[in-house]
A and B are shown apart, each in its own frame.
Chain A
Amino acid sequence: MIFAATSPFTYTPSLTDWLRIVPELILLAAALLTLLADLVGSPGRKGWLAIIGLAGAICALVATQMLWVGGSIGEAFYGMVNDDYVSLFANIVILFALGIALLFSPGYIERQGITHEGEYYTLLILAALGMMVMSAASNLMVIFVGLEILSLALYILSAIVTTRRRSQEAGMKYFILSSFASAFLLYGMALTYGATGSTNLTAIRTFLSSHGTFPLGSGFGPLLLVALGLMAVGFCFKVSAVPFQAWTPDVYVGAPTSITAFMSVGTKVAAFVGLVRVFFFALPSLSVEWQPVFWVIAVLTMIGGNLMAASQRDVKRMLAYSSVANAGYMLIAVATHTQAALQGLFIYLATYAVMNLGAFGVVLAIERRDGQGTTLDDFAGLGRRHPALAALMALFMFALAGTPATAGFIGKWYVFYAAMTGGHTELAIIGVLASLIGVYYYLRVVWAIYFTEPATAPLLVLAEEPTPEREPAATTTAGGGVALAEPATAAQPTTSTKVLPADRHTTHPATWLGLALAGVLTIALGIVPMLMVEWALAAAQTLFK
């Protein structure tokens, strides 16, 4: 199998192969369908593209569920992808994130005036597809292909607000830095191939285990060591671990919030699953070499991420750094390298997904037309202006801070528990101390929401970029005929280009639905997490042998 390339190679996919990637196929179909459906209908009325996407996500979720319960699972396409409990678990989280992001999108697109709706939805679905491919990959090449599908889609999505310079900057920055990291990863994969003679993860695993614990002296040892380092760099960049986190805040803040919500969760899932497939499954015999590396990175990420988040005043930026900090907790699991740690990692990914999507969802709901209005000052007094949004944000903040009876605590519990059973009590202690910093900056948002009053003067739009002309028009059309009769509203177009109060808009019903889903799950996973824990265990058992 390793030297299959030397003879003419043919492989005919069977029906079983196709059946095992049904969730991916459904999503691909949904993506293509949205692209076609974009051709009909007038601009600005493309909300039903989201419905197509949502239907695709739900069908894919059902397919995943059916595969989990009764389907035949295993490797497919000549060991290129592996449809196991790991990929199915990842599918569930990614599809959930996609569904929530799609629910957030129509209202946000409308408010932000994003013009390329068809491309937006198609690329969003394709990004999810890339994530699923990456987490199902059982071959280094397919991991890379999945990574590129999701990255390319996300580069464009980050820059899709054509009227906002910050968004353009985010896309460009992400593209350049991420390409650089992809190159590292690819080079690492190439060297691994050079050292082991295969890109198939199982083959690499078998090859290494048949060569003793660490074949340093066997000629290809240094090669493998360099490969290990390069791949670690590549993956750490993708999960935004310190010191490879520099792109995260700028990209997360610049990108449209619905996209940020999705990529902060989805990319983490795909990258971590890819990481554990490579390091836990293919390279366990080298764990002596890579475990200390991840130990150091985990500590740096936890401390660095939390400290940097604590000094932010923009909640969106704070959440970006918080995603760095959370990557640190997940890296504890990687550094621990036990089955319990792997289970903890999967649980953490799922719980982080629900609460982080929710948190970004509230930010998205209070964000102004110009993409501003997400600082702590804008959250001031939210408890009185929008009680429901405020309560949800408080819930997500408490959850992210790790309060028991929410999803956040279950994730932290399993990771710290695994670290301690795995003999890394010091990581658990550093983790809890770092999360104390987290308590400070998450609860500062709650402070702003409930303990302070809104600033009395209307907030001025900073002259960061020219305000698009369609905004006043949108205000009048949204206001409707009745509003036009009033002189005060008639005068609005002239003033609204300068002054935009933070709360002059209503939240789209779909956004509400997404927020409610995230909120319910944040509590449910905190109180009745049994099913998730069970699934995570099944996934961990598949991978950790």
Chain B
Amino acid sequence: MTNEEIREQIDAIFESAIKHSAVTEHGDLVVHVAVEQFLMLMAYLKQNRDYDFDYLSQITGVDYLEMDPDREFRFDVVYELYSMSKDHHIQIHVGLPEEEPTLPSVYHLWRGADFPERELYDMFGIIVMDHPNMKRLLMPEDWEGHPLLKDYPLTVEEVAFSHNPDHKSELIKTPEDMKVDPWA
């Protein structure tokens, strides 16, 4: 089955849920899906014997804040799926809004989604529903903020040198907060 055939079939079955689908000039199959129908599409891709997308290669989050501020969705989550037996390759994009970005977990379809989904939350603050062990992965558990967001400050300015104390971000700690009692 060629990429073009898969694209046509998915378009026909999921109709309006598919925002955009294309086979790029490099021959990659890329499908943009609405978040409401996302889990159904993923389950269909995994369970349909003709496609047999049994392997999840990776999950990438992208924050489009700086690139295109007027974009409908601020975030895109990109899934790379392969079929080990049929040699297919598909890229699924899900758009998520700035306010409470939430999407369902695919952990019960591909166990390999465990770490990448936790990383999504850790780095972008994207909430992944029904994940069995949702907590921070790379950053410390008490870390504030999500580092790969485009509006995450690259350097933290100490309050003592701030010119506008009303404007301070949540990240800025007062010298009082910085003090740690090692015996506490």
Same complex for A and B? Answer no
Chain A residues within CB distance 8 Å of chain B: none
Chain B residues within CB distance 8 Å of chain A: none
